[in-house]
Structure 1
Amino acid sequence: MSEPFAAVHHLTAHLPLNAAATYDVIVCGGGAAGVVAAIQAARLGARVALIEKTGMLGGTAVTAAVDFPGLFHAWTKQVIAGIGWELIEETAARGGAELPDFEVQYPHRRHWMHQIRVNRFVYSTVMDELCVGAGVDLHLHALPIRVEQDEEGCTVILGGKDGLQALRTRKLVDATGDANAAILLGYACEESPVQQPGTLIYALDGYRLEDVDQQALLQHYREAAAVGEIRITDHRPADLPLWSELKTRGGSANHIPAPGAASSTGRTRAELEARRSLLRVRSLLRRVPGLESLQVSFFAPECGIRETRRIVGEQTVTVDRYTSGYVWPDAICYSFYPIDVHSDRDGTIDVRPLQPGVVPTLPYGALVPRGSDHLLVAGRCIAGDREANSAYRVQASCMATGQAAGAASALAAAEGVSVREVPLAALRAALAAHRAIVPPA
């Protein structure tokens, strides 16, 4: 044991643990997967704690402003419902979302038309209320810094604003998106040699589009590109670079290289580069006639990360099985999104739409780290290859795996069994009872 780790071990080994700090299920991560997992476990009668590193729930939809969850429908039919859909319905009921017409069948490459734009404030407060209403104990501004397990469960050491705290749980759900708890417990994970870039979402204001000199924009762009003042990954590929960003007044146009973003060091690099990228765009545009008063009126607090780690699971979702619509023997939910691999070099996207009628399924085994008894994983870091992961990483699919992980962890805790021993029939029945759509056995 290294000296720094030994010091942490010594500090945390003697933290007091009382009855108020013991749970049936602890969920790490308060995004799409984690919130749904926590609510589901609590509604099955488990005592649940939810740990979130920021000050609000919602994850990427809120802190990275990727505020368009999807996809819940495939080929005009709903395939993901349950607690995740309840969050959407309640947000819409409060005037925080407008549902598209799901009866319209869009061409393959317009799948995004069925994403649902949510108001981040309303959406996050709906999550607050549903968690608190279910009896979930929220631990915001906290991060697991050490996790240990034994035959009975796990001890989670939290680092927070008031120091260290020990929590005890029978079962643990890792919904961090980066497999943080899985890594702390020593489970095998994998990372692709080349990872998809992130995106910093932003908004522009302070100009009228009709006043912009397009030829001057092109000339300034070419001059800036020649000396490295702008990069091709700072904007969408286009014959007239940055014109689309001006027309849409910002959006999700950039590709931010984010290797190693599962770590704090790698994430720091990504956040710094994201803001430098936007600064390059702002600096160039303000030199163009008609854009002298352009301002960045909004930028997301975090760069949205697409890809980091994936666990090595009891099952692995491969691109062939995903795109074929294979129904896994232990399928617990559907997923619907095209293969969607973003390039970190030139801003292009490899989009491979699913064939008409195909609706992929996800297996329970992909949520179980190989050999795990107490830990389940939900969200984008479930077990799969890189191409399949590029599709099932989206928010609706994360909600579906979160609900499955929440139900399975509550059942395993109640029965005192390994997460690998949860009866599939009981899990499917619990999910169906809470409005989830479960593939047929």
Structure 2
Amino acid sequence: MTTYYDVVVAGGGTAGGPAATQAARLGARTLLVEKNGALGGTTTVAGVSLPGLFHAWGRQVIAGIGWEAVTRSVREAGLRLPDFTQWEQPHHRLQVRVSPAVLAAVLDDTVVGSGAELLLHAIVAEAAWDGAEWRLTLATKDGLHRIRAGAVVDCTGDADVVALAGLPRSTRPRRQPGTIMVRLGGYDLAAIDVDAVQAAHDDAVRRGDLLPADLAHNPVAKFLRVRGENAIHVTGVQGGTSRDKTAAEVAGRRTLLRILRFLRRQPGLERVVIESWAIETGIRESWTIDGHATITLDDYAGGRAWPDALSYSFYPIDVHRPDGDGIDIRPLAYGTLPTIPRAAMIPRGSSRLVVAGRAISGDQEASSAYRVQASSMAMGQSAGVMAARAVGRGDDVLDLPLDLIRDDLRAHGAILPGDVVVPPLPIKETS
């Protein structure tokens, strides 16, 4: 293993792949370190195989490296893209269904094809800035390896490198629940008395055999109709440490087993099976950094055009209530185009360190929207540019000219804030 890299990217999820690819495409000697056996994070390992949103109000607002990988995987898998011109549909219908296996393979090819070095089944275990470069220790199956880096991009989702470097991060006392992704089969919904199953469910909750949030407060009819997909809440979880992750995984599988046992006791559901499941319980929020700027609900929902914005983000406010008591979805007003500023991606007190993904600096309501895959992909690509250019110029990431970053992003297919104009809604004639 090389002992020095220009850029080390920690975490190969939705942000990490584009970050490493972009840095390598700019000529930086790049290493991507991922703890799992596949890239893609939430989209692949956690089974949320519906990345979005890349479009707003019928206009594409996020493109670039992440979009390239997603659309290539759609073609390879023989799937189809939604009709993005039909923007008045519910937002989930405009997310892109992908095959996790195919996307993971495409991401391998994208990252390795860029010239970046890929190391799976490894994590950053120590991180320190010595005044000139980063000193990192990697924990691998064959022992500890010490390397140096000119810049680091933290795409762990939990700001792990930020914490290892002794920089502040914060968490909220009431966090959103996680979700374990499954798809159920082995039953014919038309042959089931869903009212009877609903009554049995309510009785099971009263007895304590099920928790109120197990079905994400969905009616039984809806839960069975969607085959349990993205319809299970795992409450009280935190994802920021190995102990926390262990507790989340155990809680997720216990939840799944509770639901399975309950369903198999119901008439018509005796042969219910789990057709697919994700090995990781998906975590919606854990830790956030103390950035040079903090994105608030008003900033996001108001479509604030930050002067240092490097990407768009588009998704409704999507707070899964911390106690598992349902979901608070608030669509954005027509024409709203939220943006992500560079300053929210840079931890205070850091040098040549960029964060991309859900751990950037923002409040719970804003982060419930920008945490999603497409937004994280755009952030990752921006972070890759900043890290590579900072090392190449000998600058800190906050000192890089914004025009330089934006020119690089556009040259690699990204869409920048200000590039998209949303037309006014046509005035409806009244009789």
Query: What is the CA–CA distance in structure 2 between the aligned matches of 1:97 and 1:64, rounded to whole Å?
Result: 20
What CA distance in whole angstroms lies between the structure 1 residues aligned with 2:106 and 2:324? 38
Counterpart check, 1:36 vs 2:18? yes
Contact 1:96/1:123, CA 8 A, preserved across alignment: no
CA spacing shift, 1:322–1:223, aligned 2, 3 Å: closer
Letter of the 2:220 partner, please give it.
L
1:243-295 C-alpha deviation (Å, 9 max, x unpaired)? 22222222011111144321111111111111111111111111111111212
Alignment of 1:177-188 (within 5 A): 177-188=157-168
- On the 8 A contact 1:314/1:371 being kept in 2, the answer is no
Q: Structure 2: how far apart are the matches of 1:111 and 1:179?
A: 28
| Counterpart among 259, 262, 269 of residue 247 in structure 2 | 269
Name the CA distance, whole Å, in 2 between partners of 1:96 and 1:418: 44
Q: 1:334: which partner in 2?
A: 312
Q: Are 1:122 and 2:106 counterparts?
A: no
**Structure 1 vs Structure 2: percent identity of aligned residues?**
46
- 1:160, CA displacement in angstroms? 1.1
Give CA-to-partner distance per residue, 1:380-423, whole Å, 9 cap, x none: 11111111111100000001110000001000010111122111
Of 268, 271, 280 in structure 2, the residue corresponding to residue 290 of structure 1 is: 268
- Name the structure 1 match of 2:63: 81
Which residue of the partner structure matches residue 112 of structure 1? Answer: 92
Counterpart position of 2:7: 25
* Structure 2 partner of 1:438: 416
Once residues 226 and 211 of structure 2 are traced to their aligned partners in structure 1, the CA distance between those partners, rounded to angstroms, is: 20
Shift of 1:222: 3.2
Judge which range, 222-231 or 57-66, deviates more: 222-231
Q: Does 1:279 align with 2:261?
A: no
Residue by residue over 1:87-146, the C-alpha shift from the partner in whole angstroms, topping out at 9 and shown as x without a partner, is 122112213542100111225xx1111100000111111100011111111110001111
User: Counterparts of 1:88 and 1:62 in 2: how far apart (Å)?
Assistant: 12
Alignment of 1:88-103 (within 5 A): 88-95=70-77, 97-103=79-85
Please name the residue that 2:206 is paired with. 226
Please say if residues 88 and 97 of structure 1, whose CA atoms lie closer than 8 Å, have aligned partners that are also in contact: no
* 2:286 alignment partner in structure 1: 308
SS in structure 2 at match of 1:196: coil
**1:348 shift after superposition:** 0.8
Match of 1:365 in 2: 343
Aligned counterparts of 2:88 and 2:399: Cα–Cα separation in 1: 41
Residue in 1 that maps onto 2:427: none
1:190 is the counterpart of 2:173:
no
Deviations 1:304-332 (A, max 9, x none): 11001110111111111111111111010
Shift of 1:296: 1.9
CA apart distance, 1:215: 4.4
Where in structure 1 are there 5+ consecutive unaligned residues? 1-17
TM-score (ref. length: structure 1): 0.92
Q: Does 1:72 align with 2:54?
A: yes
Structure-2 separation of matches of 1:97 and 1:417: 44
Matches within 5 A, 1:386-397: 386-397=364-375
1:117 corresponds to which letter in structure 2?
R
Cα contact 1:254–1:347 (8 A) shared by 2 = no
Alpha-carbon deviation of 1:208?
2.2
Q: Which amino acid aligns with 1:129?
A: D
Please, which of 401, 406, 409 is the counterpart of residue 384 of structure 2?
A: 406
Q: Structure 1 residues 414 and 392 mapped into 2: Cα distance closer, same or farther (>3 Å)?
A: same
Matched, 1:149 2:129: yes
Partner of 1:245: 223
Given the superposition, is the C-alpha separation of residues 24 and 96 from structure 1 closer, same or farther in structure 2, using an over 3 Å criterion?
A: farther
* Contact kept? 1:191, 1:309, Cα under 8 Å: yes
1:440 CA displacement: 3.4
Partner Cα distance (2:324, 2:411) in 1: 46
Shift of 1:340: 0.8
Cα distance in 2, alignment partners of residues 253 and 84 from structure 1: 26
- Normalized per residue, the structure richer in helix is 1
Secondary structure of the residue aligned to 2:314 is: coil
Which whole-Å CA distance do the structure 2 matches of 1:140 and 1:71 have between them?
27
Please report the RMSD computed on the Cα atoms of aligned residues, expressed in angstroms.
1.4
> Is the contact made by 1:142 and 1:159 (CA closer than 8 Å) also made in structure 2?
yes
Normalised by the length of structure 2, the TM-score is 0.94
Secondary structure in 1 matching 2:44: helix
Tell me the alpha carbon deviations over residues 338-361 of structure 1, each in whole angstroms, 9 at most, x when there is no partner: 111101324411111111001001
Deviation of residue 367 (structure 1)? 0.9
Q: Quick one: distance in 2 between partners of 1:142 and 1:115?
A: 31
